[in-house]
Amino acid sequence: MSTQASEPLDVERIRRDFPILGREVGAGDRLIYLDNAATSQTPDPVIDAVSEYYRGYNSNVHRGIHHLSEEASIAYEEAHDRLAEFVGASGGREELVFTKNTTEALNLVAHAWGLRELGPGDNVVMTEMEHHSSLVTWQQIAKRTGAEVRYVRVDGDGHLDTDHARELVDEDTEMVSTVHVSNVLGTMTPVAELAGLAHEHGSHIFVDGAQAVPHRPVDVEELGVDFYAFSGHKMCGPTGIGCLYGRADLLAAMEPFMYGGGMVRKVTFEETTWNDVPWKFEAGTPLIAEGIALAEAADYLEDVGLDSIDRHEHELTEYAMGRLEEFDDLEIYGPPRGEERTGVVSFNLENVHAHDLASIMNDHAVAIRPGDHCTQPLHDSMGITASARASFYLYNTKAEVDALIEAIDDARQLFA
Amino acid sequence: MSAGRDMYRQQILDHYKNPRNYGELDDPTFSHVGENPLCGDEIRVEVKLDEDDETIEYAAFTGDGCAISQASASMLTDELRGLTLKELAALDREDVTDLLGVDVSPMRVKCAVLSEKVAQDGAAIYEGEKEVDVTKTE
């Protein structure tokens, strides 16, 4: 594994880049932030990029002639190239659209591509561990077009049943839409294998990479995918900005998703022609500060080293799972320790509802997330209504894992 | 302020672990169900009215969910005994949090008030004042 060659992280130095990690919560305890799968914290260089934009060159992009607009336009447009490069898209901005988040990227493709390409007799294949962002989107687009949705099984240990995928994907499959990493189970799906399967059947593949891109190197061309989406706020970037990678020929052939200013070339009272990709898909004044700051987040993560981040999270997760296994009344979901999985650990403590557990952990200044994590069908299939989820990132430490364990033990004793 | 451990005073844990009035009635006058999507809590409240068709003789509940929702259902069904439907309708959020005896954190209030809303909707449906399929607190 490439992670073996990576440098260990200097976590203490990294933590100094994140001012929020110094704050106290509740009764004056230092925040222990283990809700990174929901949103990550923001380092100074990214906060500074937003601040510098508003203090120095805030203006609208693409159409201004004046100095500020030129600076903003160049920074905003180059941010697309930077994010394309970050995920290995050699086409630069022609393959990288800024969206609000992963959900909007999914909706963009589902509407702009799906409404035209899907029809009765066609099917879309997903996995049982899809986030609602893709599950609900394709489910509803399928209803509108008469297409069928199919779900690849996930086994009891959180592995995707690839034999089942081979049964489901057929000549009528128009899209395979899968998470790269499950936001509940931490499972890595075999994306390259699924891409091969989709293409063998003349289908396309969309990958929800929201839980992958922040945590490990991702190369969309190596994976061989057609579409790939991720969110800025989970990768040390601002909220409100996300990315859609799409193969250049696919994006060029697609109709727009939203209409308005900036996405047009020629407009008459009767007709309109479209601007080039990505602007064709970015109607209205875009998220300028956010896009520029997201490029800064990509720089930050690469400076730290994504291989090193991956390795650090792997070690923390192994350590956390080992400690969680000390409790015989605690069930961990997803692939067992030792297997490839990411820094997401979901669990339930016997007799303690996940929301009660999270409330008690909050009293220990430990931020975790209880609930269905936008995967209700997955939770239904696991026979539970909710789970507690701890998720790690580059700034978390073993001492914080120990605090998590102490907080869980406190809840156990309270409910014993 | 920290509402975590404080929110789980002994009384609440006692009602959660040993719920009062838990089960189904043989002869409920009305019965209604509700959900709190936040925690996935589900509660069914059943009420038996006196012959005056106005005073609650006794109430029971079934369901599962977080400690706050289950303990408040346990306490509320105790409290309902002897109340009139008018008095039930007049209960508000504070009455429930007073019963619990703790400051419920803002995010969890919907857990605390679920059984109260279910009982109120059940009564309103019985009296023909409302049509609700499943009560939700969001």
Report CB contact under 8 Å: A355, B38.
Answer: yes
Q: Is B76 on the interface with A (CB under 8 A)?
A: no
pLDDT of amino acid B104: 86
- Residue in chain A lying closest to B5 (CA): A360
**What count of CB pairs under 8 Å joins A to B?**
58
* pLDDT for A136 beyond 80: yes
Q: At residue A180, what are phi and psi to the nearest 5 degrees?
A: -80, -45
Average pLDDT, chain A: 96
Structural contact between residues B43 and B134, judged by C-beta atoms closer than 8 angstroms: no
Task: Write down the residue that tokens 């659209």 correspond to.
Answer: A97
B65 interaction partners in chain A (CB closer than 8 Å): 353, 385
Q: Which helix (H) or strand (E) holds B86?
A: helix B85-90
DSSP letter string, A286-349: --HHHHHHHHHHHHHHHHH-HHHHHHHHHHHHHHHHHHHTT-TTEEE-SSPTTSSB-SEEEEEE
B105 interaction partners in chain A (CB closer than 8 Å): 359
- Tell me A9's DSSP state: P
* pLDDT for A2 beyond 70: no
C-alpha distance across the termini of chain B, in Å:
23
* pLDDT for A189 beyond 90: yes
Q: Is A77 exposed, middle or buried (0-12, 13-18, 19+ CB in 10 A)?
A: middle
Residue A221, amino acid: E
The CA distance from B35 to A84, in Å, is 44
Determine the 3-state secondary structure of A4 from DSSP: helix
* pLDDT for B39 beyond 80: no
From the list A31, A367, A374, A384, the catalytic residue is A374
pLDDT of amino acid A410: 93
Confidence category of residue B1, pLDDT binned at 50, 70, 90: very low
How do residues B55-110 score in pLDDT, each as one tens digit? 999 999 999 899 999 999 999 999 999 999 999 999 999 999 899 988 888 888 99
Taking residues A61-76, what's their average pLDDT? 92
Answer yes or no: A236 catalytic: no
* pLDDT for B4 beyond 60: no
Closest partner residue to B4 among A363, A370, A372, by Cβ? A363
pLDDT of amino acid A3: 43
* pLDDT for A384 beyond 80: yes
Report CB contact under 8 Å: B4, A26.
Answer: yes
DSSP letter string, A122-159: -EEEEETT--HHHHHHHHHHHHHHT-EEEEE-B-TTS-
Structural contact between residues A315 and A258, judged by C-beta atoms closer than 8 angstroms: no
Report CB contact under 8 Å: A356, B3.
Answer: no
* pLDDT for A215 beyond 80: yes
**H-type alpha helices, A20-119:** 44-52, 67-86, 102-109, 115-117
Q: Is A264 exposed, middle or buried (0-12, 13-18, 19+ CB in 10 A)?
A: middle
Report CB contact under 8 Å: A360, B4.
Answer: yes
Report CB contact under 8 Å: A353, B1.
Answer: no
Q: Is A70 exposed, middle or buried (0-12, 13-18, 19+ CB in 10 A)?
A: middle
Share of chain B above pLDDT 70, in %: 95
Locate A113 and state its tokens: 């591509």
Structural contact between residues A214 and A187, judged by C-beta atoms closer than 8 angstroms: no
Determine the 3-state secondary structure of B30 from DSSP: strand
- Tell me A258's DSSP state: S
Report CB contact under 8 Å: A363, B39.
Answer: no
Number of other residues whose CB lies within 10 A of the CB of residue B89: 14
Interface with chain A: mutation pick from B6, B8, B36, B102, highest number of A CBs within 10 Å: B8
- For residue A140, CA distances in Å to A106, A111, A230, B26 come to 12, 10, 21, 43
CA of A41 vs chain B CAs: smallest distance (Å)? 22
Interface of B with A in 89-118 (CB under 8 A): 105, 108, 111
Confidence category of residue A5, pLDDT binned at 50, 70, 90: low
Closest partner residue to B4 among A352, A354, A362, by Cβ? A362
- Residue in chain A lying closest to B105 (CA): A359
The CA distance from B78 to A390, in Å, is 37
Locate A313 and state its tokens: 């999270």
CA of B137 vs chain A CAs: smallest distance (Å)? 16
CA of A137 vs chain B CAs: smallest distance (Å)? 20
Report CB contact under 8 Å: A356, B13.
Answer: no
Which domains occur in chain A, in start order? Answer: 2-36+305-415 (3.90.1150.10), 47-302 (3.40.640.10)
What are the residues of chain A with a beta carbon less than 8 Å away from any beta carbon of chain B? Answer: 26-27, 352-356, 359-364, 370-372, 385-386, 410, 414-415
Residues 6+ apart with CB under 8 A from A334: A157, A158, A182, A184, A185, A186, A187, A341, A344, A345, A346
Interface with chain B: mutation pick from A352, A355, A372, A378, highest number of B CBs within 10 Å: A355
Q: Is B3 on the interface with A (CB under 8 A)?
A: yes
- Residue in chain B lying closest to A415 (CA): B13
Label the pairing between strands A173-179 and A227-231. Answer: unpaired
A410 interaction partners in chain B (CB closer than 8 Å): 5
Taking residues A213-235, what's their average pLDDT? 98
In sign, the C-alpha dihedral spanning B20, B24, B28, B34 is positive
Residue A256: is the preceding peptide bond cis (ω within 30°)?
A: no
The CA distance from A115 to A108, in Å, is 10
Beta pairing partners, B131: none
CA of B111 vs chain A CAs: smallest distance (Å)? 10
The CA distance from A262 to A255, in Å, is 15
Closest partner residue to B13 among A363, A410, A414, by Cβ? A414
Which domains occur in chain B, in start order? Answer: 4-128 (3.90.1010.10)
Structural contact between residues B70 and B19, judged by C-beta atoms closer than 8 angstroms: yes
Determine the 3-state secondary structure of A354 from DSSP: helix
